[in-house]
Amino acid sequence: MASHQALLIIDYTNDFIADKGALTCGEAGQAIDKNIAKLADNMRKDGDWVWFPTDVHRPFDHYHPETKLFPAHNVRDTWGRDLYGETGQWYKDNVGKDTVKLFDKTRYSAFAGTDLDLRLREREVDTLHLVGVCTDICVLHTAVDAYDLGYKIVIHKSCVASFNQAGHEWALDHFENVLGAKVVK
C-alpha cells in the first residue's frame, strides 16, 4: 500500500486570528500565517493533500456544548468564519484543485462527526501534519483522535498557536511525549 501525507490547517479563521475576532489568538495566531501558507504551498506542490477542517456554528445555538464555554464564533456565512490572511488567500488561489478542500466540523476534533477518517483512508494517507489553532484545543483533540486511529502525526511548532500560552506549551509537550508525534520547527 502506498503511503501519503495530508496537511490539516485547523480553524484558521478571522474569529480565531484577527484582532477583532470573537475568540482570537491575536498576535500569536497572526505570527504563524506566513508559515502556514508556505507549508501549504510546499505540501501541495509535493502532491500532498491540504485540507481545512473549519469550525462552524449556527447563530443562537444554545444546545452546542461550546456555548457554555466561549462566545459565539465561526457562525456560518459571517466574516468571522472566513479564512484569515495569507493562508486565506492561499486557499482562494488553490480551491478547486484536487488536493485542496475546506470542510465543516462542529466539534474540537476534525474527526468528530465528520467523514475525515474515511476520506484519508481512501487516499491511503498515513501521516497527518497538523497546524492551526488552538494548539491546546482543536489541534490537540484532532491529534488525540488521529493517534487513536493509528495515524503518524507531525506538529509544526511554527504553525500552531493559542490564546493560552501555558496550554500551548503543555500541548506541544503532550503531542511529543504522550502521542508520539514528531514536533518540528
Report all structural domains of the chain as residue ranges with CATH numbers, in order of start.
4-184 (3.40.50.850)
Q: In this predicted model, what pLDDT tens digit does every residue of 20-44 receive, in sequence order?
A: 999 999 999 999 999 999 999 999 9
pLDDT band at 59 (very low <50, low <70, confident <90, very high): confident
- Answer whether residue 67 shows pLDDT above 90: no
Between CA 116 and CA 77 the distance in angstroms is: 22
Average pLDDT estimate for 148-156: 98
- Answer whether residue 73 shows pLDDT above 90: no
Model pLDDT, residue 95: 92
Average pLDDT estimate for 101-106: 93
Between CA 96 and CA 100 the distance in angstroms is: 7
Q: Which three cell numbers stand for residue 78?
A: 459571517
Q: Kindly report the length of the chain.
A: 185
